[in-house]
Amino acid sequence: MDKNNPYLRGTGIMSMELLNIQLPHDIYYFGFGLMMFLFMAILIPREAIRKLFALSLIWGYLGSLIFVVVFTRLLNLFQWEETAFSFAGSPFILNLAWAPALLIYFYFLPKQKHLFWLYLVTFSLVSAGIDVIFNQLGTLQYIFWGPLGRAIVAIIWFLGATFHLNYLTERERERE
């Protein structure tokens, strides 16, 4: 960035660079987790949270942890920066933040097939966008990875979560 550019003076665009402020990576993870939790708390009724919590924890937290371990440790496609709250090479708080994200996904899941595919692709692209943001922040280092890979894996991940939710919903209907 050109520090002598008169168009940038007084805009605040240069302030972070000039002060050399570097927030620890834990702040980014915590901020994302807090944001997802607040979205969940604001958008979803408590009864729905209670009903979908276990499934969102499985597909959100556990799914994210397995995804990171497989793609970092086994396939070496990308690497997260180690933080104070890392577990198995994966940021614990970031993995935990995917539980409210999946709860939001489940709650707003459309019933119509044509809307479902649009919703699935949109949610997957948002997931890839979050991936890019963490890469830009320097917390996620791409080795043989990128947003397209993330979007494809996210489609498969959310599709599996949707099938699981549909299976559980169908079983619940059969019991009634």
pLDDT tens figures, 104-125:
999 999 989 889 999 999 999 9
Distance CA(29)–CA(90), nearest Å, equals 11
Residue 15: per-residue pLDDT: 43
- Residue 62's pLDDT band (boundaries 50, 70, 90)? very high
**Structural contact between residues 40 and 146, judged by C-beta atoms closer than 8 angstroms:** no
With residues binned 3-state (H G I as helix, E B as strand, rest as coil), the percentages for the chain, rounded to 5, are: 70, 5, 25
pLDDT digits (tens, 9 = 90+) for 3-40: 554 444 444 444 444 444 446 777 888 889 999 999 99
Average pLDDT on 137-160 reads: 94
* Whole-Å CA distances, 97 to 9, 18, 49, 60, 91: 37, 32, 14, 8, 10
Residues of the chain above pLDDT 90, percent:
68
Which residue type does 169 have? T
Torsion of CA 170, 110, 129, 15, to 10 degrees: -120
Dist CA 142 CA 136 (whole Å): 10
Name the strand (E) or helix (H) holding 158: helix 147-175
Give the pLDDT score at 150.
96
Q: Rounded CA gap, 26 and 96, in Å?
A: 13
Which residues are CB-contacts of 100 (< 8 A; sequence separation ≥ 6)?
A: 36, 37, 39, 40, 56, 60
What does the mean pLDDT of the chain come to? 86
Higher-confidence position of 107 and 92: 107
So where are the chain's domains? Answer: 23-175
Residue type, 119: Y
- Model pTM? 0.82
